[in-house]
């Protein structure tokens, strides 16, 4: 009985930790999207992993890449967080974005933990066939 209760307590504790991690990751992605919506490319750049910041060097370069390559992220009509999963040791958050024209886009955000918290280290646009995956 005691072992069963300990298992339940551990499972509840782990579930709470996972839910907190999910909320943190969703918060980072959501905050970056909010910054994009406000054309705050400096703020949005802060949510990018250092490896991404090194590639683009400036918030302006980063903003140009997003507005030209990921307009659905820059101006989404609707954002829905789907599953968070471990893919080869990387945490990936699947996000469904409906753009202003009503088109549905599925994106995979690769997240990396840093000393400053979770950061976005890559975003991949998934094929439409992966919507149900």
Domains in the chain, number: 1
- Write the CATH number for 48: 3.10.450
Higher pLDDT, 36 or 21: 36
Q: How much is the pTM?
A: 0.80
**Is the per-residue pLDDT at 7 higher than 60?**
no
Which tens digits make up the pLDDT trace of 51-83?
Answer: 999 999 999 999 999 999 999 999 999 999 999
Residues spanned by the domain of 123: 2-130
Could you give the CA distance from residue 110 to residue 58 in angstroms, rounded to a whole number? Answer: 21
- Quick one: residue 88, left, alpha or beta (phi over 0 = left, psi -120 to 50 = alpha)? left
Q: Which of 77, 39, 88, 41 is nearest to 61 (CA)?
A: 41
Could you give the CA distance from residue 44 to residue 112 in angstroms, rounded to a whole number? Answer: 16
Residue positions counted in the chain: 133
Which tens digits make up the pLDDT trace of 73-126?
Answer: 999 999 999 999 998 888 999 999 999 999 999 999 999 999 999 999 999 999
């Amino acid at each position: 009985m005691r072992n069963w209760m300990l298992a339940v307590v551990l499972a509840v504790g782990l579930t709470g930790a996972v839910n907190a991690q999910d909320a943190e990751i969703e918060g980072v992605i959501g905050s970056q999207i909010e910054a994009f919506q406000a054309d705050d490319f400096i703020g949005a750049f802060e949510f990018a992993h250092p490896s991404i910041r090194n590639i683009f060097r400036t918030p302006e370069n980063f903003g140009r890449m997003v507005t030209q390559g990921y307009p659905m992220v820059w101006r989404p009509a609707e954002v829905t967080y789907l599953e968070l999963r471990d893919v080869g040791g990387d945490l990936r958050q699947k996000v469904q974005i409906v753009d202003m024209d009503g088109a549905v886009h599925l994106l995979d955000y690769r997240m990396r933990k840093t000393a400053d918290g979770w950061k976005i280290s890559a975003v991949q646009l998934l094929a439409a066939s992966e919507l149900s995956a």
